[in-house]
């Protein structure tokens, strides 16, 4: 028997499609739908690789607000918030990052998300009281989470509790990190963030405490910290204030640590 030869050999890995330049591959809609059925998210949701918006749309149908949808390029999504390079641009923190990252850079996306995703600093930031005495090392007297009231979209800064904390400690000066929105941040998210920061600054002023605004890049550079290195800030604060370990013991206490380092920088307490 003679078997005719094929006109052309089957190319190696012929079942593999050519890779899209930026790793654009859409997940089935049911994946996102199911995610929001079984997982709960409080606060804003950002998809930095939104593509055609399937995750963002599923979040919207699940009644989540606010939602930020960006990508490295505009793929025509109706609610697109702008082109952002998630891996290289200087980003402000957000509460939740939900995304289907490009496969070839998925590990880098995860590492970046762990730096960027945190609770809203306007709502869940930290407060610290430092004591400075001539000839003595600064002492961390108290460090707490910013007091809040309400939950989810109704969560607000508890200005009354914040005022009472100020009155109890009687600080002579307040050092506050300059607030800034994420590039092309959604209007709802930006409004909520600004409202929280405004409530904190207004409480400081009405409590009669002088206030100085500190640039984020300045205090971080002074402490030799990378832009989004939250755990690095906590470790640095523990090095400087080992006796205050109980106030900074949890990984999520990085916000208290940052407040401590800001105050130390603002008062010229670095050596």
Cβ-count burial 212-232 (b if 16+ within 10 Å, e if not): eebebeebbeebebeebbbeb
- Say whether 186 sits in a helix, a strand or coil: coil
pTM for the model stands at 0.57
What are the Cα distances from residue 177, in Å, to 8, 98, 210, 220, 224? 67, 27, 14, 11, 17
Q: Is the pLDDT of residue 150 over 90?
A: no
CB 83 within 8 A of CB 50: no
Alpha helical stretches, state H, the chain: 29-38, 54-61, 106-116, 159-169, 187-206, 216-222, 230-240, 254-266
Q: Among 82, 84, 41, 75, which residue's Cα sits nearest to residue 60?
A: 41
The whole-angstrom separation of Cα 238 and Cα 249 is 9
Average pLDDT, integer, range 126-149: 89
The pLDDT tens digits of the residues spanning 30-73 come to 988 999 888 877 667 899 999 999 999 999 998 887 788 999 99
Task: Give the pLDDT confidence of 212-244 residue by residue, as tens digits.
Answer: 999 888 898 899 987 667 888 999 999 999 999
Q: What's phi and psi for 56, nearest 5 deg?
A: -60, -40
Cβ atoms of residues 162 and 197 within 8 Å: no
Domains delineated in the chain: 29-116 (3.40.50.150), 126-266 (3.30.420.10)
């Amino acid at each position: 028997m003679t078997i005719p030869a094929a006109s052309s050999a089957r190319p190696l890995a012929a079942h593999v499609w050519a890779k899209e330049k930026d790793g654009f591959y859409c997940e089935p809609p049911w994946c996102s739908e199911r995610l929001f059925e079984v997982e709960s998210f409080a606060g804003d949701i950002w998809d930095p690789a939104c593509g055609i918006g399937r995750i963002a749309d599923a979040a919207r149908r699940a009644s989540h607000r606010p939602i930020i949808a960006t990508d490295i390029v505009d793929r025509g999504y109706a609610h697109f918030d702008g082109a952002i390079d998630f891996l290289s641009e200087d980003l402000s923190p957000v509460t939740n990052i939900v995304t289907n990252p490009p496969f070839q850079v998925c590990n880098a996306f995860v590492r970046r998300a762990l730096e960027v995703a945190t609770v809203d600093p306007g709502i869940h930031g930290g407060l610290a009281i430092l004591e400075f005495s001539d000839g003595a090392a600064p002492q961390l007297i108290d460090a707490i989470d910013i007091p809040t009231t309400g939950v989810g979209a109704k969560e607000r800064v508890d200005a009354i509790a914040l005022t009472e904390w100020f009155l109890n400690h009687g600080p002579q000066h307040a050092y506050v990190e300059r607030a800034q929105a994420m590039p092309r941040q959604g209007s709802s998210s930006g409004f909520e963030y600004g409202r929280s920061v405004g409530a904190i600054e207004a409480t400081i002023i009405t409590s009669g405490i002088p206030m100085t605004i500190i640039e984020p890049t300045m205090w971080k550079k002074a402490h030799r910290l990378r832009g989004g290195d939250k755990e690095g800030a906590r470790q640095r604060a523990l090095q400087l204030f080992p006796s205050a370990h109980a106030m900074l013991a949890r990984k999520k206490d990085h916000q208290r640590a940052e407040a401590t380092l800001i105050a130390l920088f603002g008062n010229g307490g670095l050596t």
